[in-house]
Structure 1
Amino acid sequence: MLEWSLKKIDLPLKFPWKIARGTSLSKTNFIVTVECDGSRGQGEVAFNIRYNESEKLIEEQFQLFLDHGAEDISSLEKLIALVSELDLACSLSFGLESAMAHLNAQMSDRTIHQLLCVPQVHGIHTSFSLPMMEPSQIEKFISEHKLSRFAALKIKIGSEGALEVIQEVRKFYKGPLRLDANEAYDDPSSFLNLTEKLKDVPIQFIEQPFPAKNFEMYREIKSKSGFLIFADESLTSGEVTPEFKDLFDGVNVKLMKAGGYMRGLKQLRTARELGLKTMLGCMVETSLGISSAMNIANNVDFYDLDGCLLISSDPFNAIQEDNGTLNYNYVI
């Protein structure tokens, strides 16, 4: 018989986290634990209000999961089927699947990589994300956080003031940049006006400039922007369909959006088959969640796994970062 529990954790941030949708000083996540015969598996739930997830919803849906025979689940496959039947929030679905997968690995004396049939990857070079801020704050921010050690920086931008921010970052950081608009633009012409002024800037790609469902805007600018355009909010738990290739150059796969290891792996595989670039991303998470993403990091083009580097104190310490490179301290 399985014993399930859900624990809320509050994660103060190292600095205000401002993106186009709002500002946060701390993040609330949950940790799912499942135990059986002295073995234990854990998974993180980093819920996101952008996807209509909330603390209350996670707690209510976890209770719904318990009420539908969670203690009697006998396999990972049956858990995935139950989670799908109950239509649980994607972040909770991942936390449950992750906990069960890690329990199964431990009880069968296998690593999580052996259970998932994927190679273990060491030495992941992540980007580091700059929240939205005034240009006058950028020099101090880059210096204080020693961001020159990262192979790339990702800049959160809005529909106004982006050019000034990017130009200021370029004064103090010479590596490649990634831009993340978080759906801030609603006009292709204003976005193309920005990209026209950025032709000489080493930008690896631009994430989600327009609202997730405004596919015609993506279709319009894909061949005009001069930069790779990546889907983030446009890809949640669904399939990477052939239409994605007409709209985007790459996809940002996050386990908290995908809803599980299996869905995340399928999204990455399908994207590669379609010729799309792939990135593994994250929410603001502890190293439990980041190490989970690292578990499926084989054959991925870009990594944006800095979530645990944004929090003041990591309760798991599963990941160490050295010179912008992530490695396991231990495999959960």
Structure 2
Amino acid sequence: MKLTWSVVPLPLREPFRISRSVMSTRDAVQLVLHHDGVSGYGEIVTSAYYGLDVPGIVAALTGLPACPDPETLLAELPDLPYPPGVLAGLDAAAFDLMGKRDGLPVHRLAGHPEWRPVPTAYTIGICDPSRAGETARDLGERGFTVLKVKLGSPDEDDDVARVAAVRAAVPGARLLLDPNGAWTAEQAVRILERMPYADAVEQPVPPGRPDLLAWVSERSPTPVIADEDAVDAADVERLAGAVAGVNVKVAKCGGVRAALRVIDAARGHGMNVMLGCLVASSLGVAPAAHLAGHARWTDLDGHLLLARDPWTGIGGEDGVLRLSGRPGLGVRRAEETGGEENETGGEEGAPWHPGPPGPGVRRADEAG
């Protein structure tokens, strides 16, 4: 088995602002695992927050131990001293390869035999309230029924006005709020009391203080979801009873299997699950899309924020994720389909709506 990779820039449709940063482009390291005439693909995106840059990612891939097959790679991944995002990209490529080899989609390999189309949220970044309202109106006309609003502006009134504008533009949409840990505990409660109609708020206070997260959760009119504080199953155990749920990101957890462990831990404690992602192509978002049936909220819009998605196969442009039904991750390069996102459609059925809470791998330069 051998591994090759390439670095691909992913420009966004427009600058995407959150409380701690603004992004207009992101680099992706796209992987290919080759074994017995079958190729499996995965993606690792750069992230300043998670300490992932191209040199670091390439250094990890260059030092990857030799593995004879994808099963051996999957068995060894948990013991590798790599960042979760790197592990997740390798995990995805291995699952994609095995699925193509065995003629099965990843969700079946992961023990989830049935899959139905799922509504996904679309994230509106920090911007002027009037612009947020215009964006929301356009998204509603396209079919989105779940909208996520980024918060954490210097002016609290600006945050409240942004959410109000989105709500007024699409009155029937379910709203998710995300300040990315920008607020103090007292500030979080004060602001959330001004907009008690949201479905959930993610990580209102900075990570590392689960006691403050619990304090806000006790007083907030809006269910609190841990994101940056919920990385693995052990974190879920510590947060049990303190928050309403956790945001599970495959890239944050370290792959499909690690994400499923977090999901199982959350469900075991009666916690809600949100599936999230980083800004990435359809290749990078696809592993999480295969787990969408496990979540109450699905926020898998990373590919929708791009100026041009170089991959296709998970849908989402009309607010609904639809897998292609092909083996493995089910994605293909956009040029292979003429760029038509709607070439998906192998997974039929009405959209699913959640209920109430309750010889070895080698370096690219050796690959020939």
Q: TM-score, normalised by structure 1?
A: 0.91
Say yes or no: does 1:23 pair with 2:22: yes
Identity of aligned residues (%): 25
Deviations 1:136-191 (A, max 9, x none): 32233334555662111100000533112112222212122110010111x21111
CA contact (8 A) 2:263 2:294 kept: no
Say yes or no: does 1:12 pair with 2:39: no
Say yes or no: does 1:101 pair with 2:95: yes
1:324 Cα offset (Å): 1.3
Following the alignment from structure 1 to structure 2, what is the Cα–Cα distance between the partners of residues 191 and 139?
A: 23
Q: Which residue of 2 aligns with 1:188?
A: 185
Q: SS of 2:292's equivalent?
A: coil
Q: Which residue of 1 aligns with 2:297?
A: 302
| Residue in structure 2 matching 1:257, options 221, 227, 252 | 252
Say yes or no: does 1:45 pair with 2:44: yes
Equivalent residues in 2 for 1:63-212, closer than 5 Å: 63-65=62-64, 68-69=65-66, 72-76=67-71, 78-145=72-139, 149-159=143-153, 160=155, 161-174=158-171, 175-185=173-183, 187-199=184-196, 202-212=197-207
Following the alignment from structure 1 to structure 2, what is the Cα–Cα distance between the partners of residues 88 and 223?
A: 36
CA contact (8 A) 2:230 2:236 kept: no
1:195 Cα offset (Å): 1.5
Deviations 1:6-47 (A, max 9, x none): 111111111111001111111211111101121110111123
1:87 Cα offset (Å): 1.2
Q: SS of 2:78's equivalent?
A: helix
Q: Which residue of 2 aligns with 1:247?
A: 242
Q: Which residue of 2 aligns with 1:223?
A: 218
Q: Please give the root-mean-square deviation of Cα atoms over the aligned residues, in Å.
A: 1.8
CA contact (8 A) 1:252 1:281 kept: yes
Q: Which residue of 1 aligns with 2:312?
A: 317
- AA of the residue aligned to 1:126: T
1:266 Cα offset (Å): 1.0
Following the alignment from structure 1 to structure 2, what is the Cα–Cα distance between the partners of residues 221 and 122?
A: 35
How many residues align? The count is 323
Q: SS of 1:275's equivalent?
A: coil
CA contact (8 A) 1:123 1:327 kept: yes
1:290 Cα offset (Å): 2.2
Following the alignment from structure 1 to structure 2, what is the Cα–Cα distance between the partners of residues 143 and 297?
A: 25
Q: Which residue of 1 aligns with 2:345?
A: none
Following the alignment from structure 2 to structure 1, what is the Cα–Cα distance between the partners of residues 195 and 275?
A: 25
Q: TM-score, normalised by structure 2?
A: 0.83
Following the alignment from structure 1 to structure 2, what is the Cα–Cα distance between the partners of residues 75 and 21?
A: 38
Worse-superposed segment, 125-134 or 242-251: 242-251
1:299 Cα offset (Å): 3.1
CA contact (8 A) 1:47 1:256 kept: no
Following the alignment from structure 1 to structure 2, what is the Cα–Cα distance between the partners of residues 220 and 237?
A: 22
Following the alignment from structure 1 to structure 2, what is the Cα–Cα distance between the partners of residues 143 and 301?
A: 24
Following the alignment from structure 1 to structure 2, what is the Cα–Cα distance between the partners of residues 26 and 35?
A: 29
Deviations 1:83-109 (A, max 9, x none): 333311111101111111221222233
Deviations 1:211-270 (A, max 9, x none): 111112112121111111001111224534332123211011111111111111111111
Q: Which residue of 2 aligns with 1:33?
A: 32
